[in-house]
């Protein structure tokens, strides 16, 4: 049995290097450059490439990948410890080669791509020479794939895609899109869809508009229309009708990685909250001496530590079981808890900062909005709570008895059967 809260000294040294590097070298990029995905922008290349080289020298590049794909093959626990550092900076994931949606799309290509596709798309994607798009959600159906209508039809020349997609991450910068489309509308619900590689320069792809959320310097979620977009037959990823299975290859890991980085964002907000509370005076005393402020700080610290332990335990279970299906409940729980933790801590930090807290001179409004994004991206919070409940209930069984088996009267009767001598002693005393 192993249940440990210590970090290996050698890896801790790497984490210490990463923390200092992110603070001193990477965080300034958040205020200097626009989009982390604009990899072909000369200014991005000039500033980001040297930092990526330093990360590679430290052996911390693309740590989510196994050695066969050029990564160190770190397990999820190590990734959690590293990602909570990277979560403090918008540009840190791209500097360390682990930015979404490219990480998940790389996993799909690694599992399902042909040798030619891996050479054309996967290698430059892993090297951050190009970026990719995940195009799944639809404008009328949100995140519910069972109502998707975007179709891919087979003909002698390959596949032809028609339909619309909404909030397709990173489409404006992508060299290719991974698209989920209906291929067998009459099949069982979870066998109707398939996943495809679609080159970004394929005729018929139209970005209707790019949509941004608060805090994004460059809107990077696209409303995409596919009109008779033709792709080769071998651009099907996995088997026909396996779109759900292919999607889960990327979504399980992606959700836990988002949670890891959220710890860093929440910790950053807590750090700011504490410094502000110690620095400001009002009504004759410091903010930190006021009990309502102390309550906000205490609640934030407790909630963050609880969430961090949930994330680390889930990471440990992923490493232990090596099967995302066996940790579905844990990942869903992490995903459901994540938005509220960031929202509540950022909102408290905003309140303690007063008027400057709501301004664009502080990050708190952006963090609060990000918490709502996290509550919707990769499946809404409500869906994940349903998943948790269903998975939990599998470990229980109903009863047909009129009264519950745990009724206290029944419990006392069982206790008397278990320890009859106590009843005899009580009767003797009464006599």
Q: Over the stretch 268-290, which tens digit does the pLDDT of each residue have? A: 999 999 999 999 999 999 999 99
For the chain, the structural domain boundaries read: 9-99, 132-237, 245-393, 401-431
Span 9-99 CATH architecture: Orthogonal Bundle (1.10)
At residue 246, the pLDDT reads 86
How large a percentage of the chain has pLDDT more than 90?
75
Give the span between the Cα atoms of 203 and 319, in whole angstroms.
42
User: What pLDDT sits at residue 252?
Assistant: 62
Is the pLDDT at 217 greater than 70? The verdict is yes
Region 110-139: mean pLDDT is 93
Q: What angle do CA 155, 159, 160 make, to 5 degrees?
A: 95
Burial level of 290, CB count in 10 A (0-12/13-18/19+)?
Answer: middle
Whether residue 28 has pLDDT greater than 70: yes
Q: How far apart (Å, rounded) are the C-alpha atoms in residues 307 and 197? A: 36
**Which two tokens mark 367?**
């963090």
Asked whether the predicted pLDDT for residue 412 surpasses 90, the reply is: no
Asked if residues 170 and 219 have their Cβ atoms less than 8 Å apart, the reply is no
Which residues lie closer than 8 Å to 288 by C-beta, 6 or more apart? 274, 277, 278, 294, 297
pLDDT tens track for 287-317: 999 999 999 999 999 999 999 999 999 999 9
The phi, psi pair for 30, rounded to 5°, reads: -60, -25
What is the reported pLDDT for 424? 67
pLDDT reported for residue 1: 64
Name the helix (H) or strand (E) containing 159: strand 158-169
Give the per-residue pLDDT at 418.
Answer: 86
SS3 at position 175: coil
Q: What is the pLDDT of residue 143?
A: 67
Q: Is the pLDDT of residue 29 over 80?
A: yes
Report pLDDT digits (tens) over 132-186. 999 999 998 766 788 899 999 999 989 999 999 999 999 999 999 999 999 999 9
CA distance 129 to 85: 24
**So what's the pLDDT on residue 431?**
60
Closest alpha carbon to 87 in 32, 33, 27: 27
Q: What is the third-level CATH fold of 245-393?
A: Butyryl-CoA Dehydrogenase, subunit A; domain 3 (1.20.140)
| Residue 325 clears pLDDT 90, i.e. is over it | no
Whether residue 184 contacts residue 197, with contact meaning beta carbons closer than 8 Å, is answered with no
Query: Does residue 103 contact residue 346 with C-beta atoms inside 8 Å?
Result: no
In the chain, % of residues over pLDDT 70: 96
- Whether domain 132-237 has CATH 2.40.110.10: the reply is yes
Cα separation, 142 vs 222, in Å, equals 14
Q: Work out the mean pLDDT of the chain and round it to a whole number.
A: 92
Is residue 52's pLDDT more than 90?
yes
89: three-class secondary structure by DSSP: coil
């Amino acid at each position: 049995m192993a249940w440990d809260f210590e970090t290996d000294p050698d890896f801790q040294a790497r984490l210490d290097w990463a923390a200092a590097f992110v603070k001193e070298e990477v965080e300034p990029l958040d205020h200097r450059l626009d989009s982390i995905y604009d990899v072909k922008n000369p200014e991005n290349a000039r500033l980001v490439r040297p930092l990526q080289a330093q990360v590679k020298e430290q052996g911390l590049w693309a740590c989510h990948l196994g050695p066969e794909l050029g990564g160190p093959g770190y397990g999820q626990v190590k990734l959690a410890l590293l990602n909570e550092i990277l979560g403090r900076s918008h540009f840190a994931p791209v500097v360390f080669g682990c930015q979404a949606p490219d990480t998940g799309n790389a996993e799909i290509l690694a599992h399902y791509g042909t040798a030619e596709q891996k050479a054309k798309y996967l290698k430059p994607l892993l090297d951050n020479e190009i970026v990719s798009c995940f195009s799944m959600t639809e404008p009328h159906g949100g995140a519910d794939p069972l109502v998707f209508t975007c179709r891919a039809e087979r003909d002698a020349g390959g596949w032809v895609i028609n339909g619309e997609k909404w909030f397709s991450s990173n489409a404006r910068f992508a060299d290719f899109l991974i698209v989920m489309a209906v291929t067998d509308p009459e099949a069982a619900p979870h066998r109707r869809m398939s996943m495809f590689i679609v080159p970004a320069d394929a005729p018929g792809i139209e970005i209707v508009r790019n949509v941004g959320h608060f805090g994004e310097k460059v809107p990077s979620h696209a409303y995409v229309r596919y009109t008779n977009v033709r792709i080769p037959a071998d651009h099907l990823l996995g088997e026909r009708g396996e779109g759900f299975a292919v999607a889960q290859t990327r979504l399980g890991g992606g959700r836990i990685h988002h949670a890891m980085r959220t710890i860093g964002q929440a910790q950053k907000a807590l750090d700011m909250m504490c410094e502000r509370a110690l620095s400001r005076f009002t009504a004759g005393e410091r903010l930190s001496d006021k009990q309502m402020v102390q309550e906000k700080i205490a609640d934030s610290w407790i909630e963050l530590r609880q969430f961090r332990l949930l994330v680390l335990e889930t990471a440990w279970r992923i490493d232990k079981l090596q099967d995302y299906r066996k940790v579905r409940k844990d990942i869903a729980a992490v995903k459901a808890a994540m938005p509220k933790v960031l929202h509540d801590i950022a909102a408290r930090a905003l309140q303690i900062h007063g008027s400057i807290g709501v301004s664009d001179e502080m990050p708190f409004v952006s963090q609060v909005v990000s918490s709502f994004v996290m509550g919707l991206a990769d499946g809404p919070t409500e869906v994940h709570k349903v998943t948790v409940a269903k998975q939990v209930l599998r470990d229980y069984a109903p009863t047909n008895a009129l009264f519950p088996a745990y009724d206290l009267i029944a419990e006392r009767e069982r206790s008397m059967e278990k320890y009859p001598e106590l009843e005899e002693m009580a009767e003797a005393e009464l006599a």
